[in-house]
Every structure is written in C-alpha cells, then in structure tokens.
C-alpha cells in the first residue's frame, strides 16, 4: 500500500508538472536519462519520507490525544497500538494525497526550478561552445 501510494504520487507529480525531459539530440540522451532518473529517485525518496514522517507524527499525536478508554468504547474492542497505527497511516495517506493535489496548483516553472538544477541544465544543453560554457571559463 505504501509503495503503491508513493509510486502513484511520484508519477502524478512528474506528469502534472512535465518533469520528464526528452533529449534534444542523440548526444544528450545519456545526460537526459540521468536527469530523469535523478528526478524520479528524488521524488520517490521525498514522497516516502514525507509519508513516513507524517505517520510517525500522527501516531505520536494520536497516542497523546486519543484516550485508550475512548478508543475502546468507539471500536468496541480493546484499543491497541495497532489501532493507533491504522489511524496514523490512513491519515498520513490522505495528507500525502492532499499534498499531491495541492502541488498541482504550483506553477510548472517553480517546480522545475526546485527539482532541476537550472544552471547545470543550461550548461549541458548548450552547444558546448567554449565562449558560452561556464565550466571551461572557470577551469
């Protein structure tokens, strides 16, 4: 369930914000593949970390706020940590999905600036003319 949610949200963010790059030429295919791979891995790790962090925070908050006797009365069985964990992962899943939907309202340009190193990208996508290449000037 966690893996499916993480992968689905990552795909949603990539498609919605057009983060998947197509190579402009055959010589850049490898570089673009690495950019795409780094984007996918970064988003997967970030979404998973967000989800795991939310589960922990909600679990701790639930243990503090929800009285075990009240939980027992509501679910009509003895309240266990597993019940609190169920509440935490469900709440965190809804929070992560809501965050993904909320990210849809961010501009594509802002998201690309956050996920891609624009300076490096501009350097790599130039024609590597020594007059325009920052790397060769700084060497």
Is the pLDDT at 78 greater than 60? The verdict is: yes
Is the pLDDT at 133 greater than 50? The verdict is: no
Is the pLDDT at 139 greater than 50? The verdict is: no
- Cβ neighbours of 87 (radius 10 Å): 18
Tell me what the mean pLDDT of segment 13-23 comes to: 85
- The label of the residue with tokens 């990208």 reads 121
Q: Is 117 helix (H, G, I), strand (E, B) or coil?
A: coil
Non-local (6+) Cβ contacts of 81 within 8 A are 63
Is the pLDDT at 92 greater than 90? The verdict is: yes
């Amino acid at each position: 369930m966690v893996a499916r949610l993480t992968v689905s949200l990552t795909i949603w963010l990539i498609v919605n914000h057009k983060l998947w790059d197509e190579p402009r030429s055959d010589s850049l295919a490898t570089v673009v593949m690495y950019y795409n791979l780094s984007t996918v891995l970064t988003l997967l790790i970030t979404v998973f970390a967000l989800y795991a962090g939310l589960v922990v925070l909600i679990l701790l908050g639930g243990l503090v706020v929800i009285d075990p006797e009240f939980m027992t009365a509501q679910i009509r069985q003895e309240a266990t940590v597993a019940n609190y964990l169920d509440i935490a992962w469900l709440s965190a899943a809804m929070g992560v999905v809501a965050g993904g939907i909320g990210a849809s309202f961010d501009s594509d340009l802002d998201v690309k600036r956050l996920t891609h190193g624009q300076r490096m990208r501009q350097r790599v996508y130039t024609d590597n003319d020594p007059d325009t290449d920052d790397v060769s000037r700084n060497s």
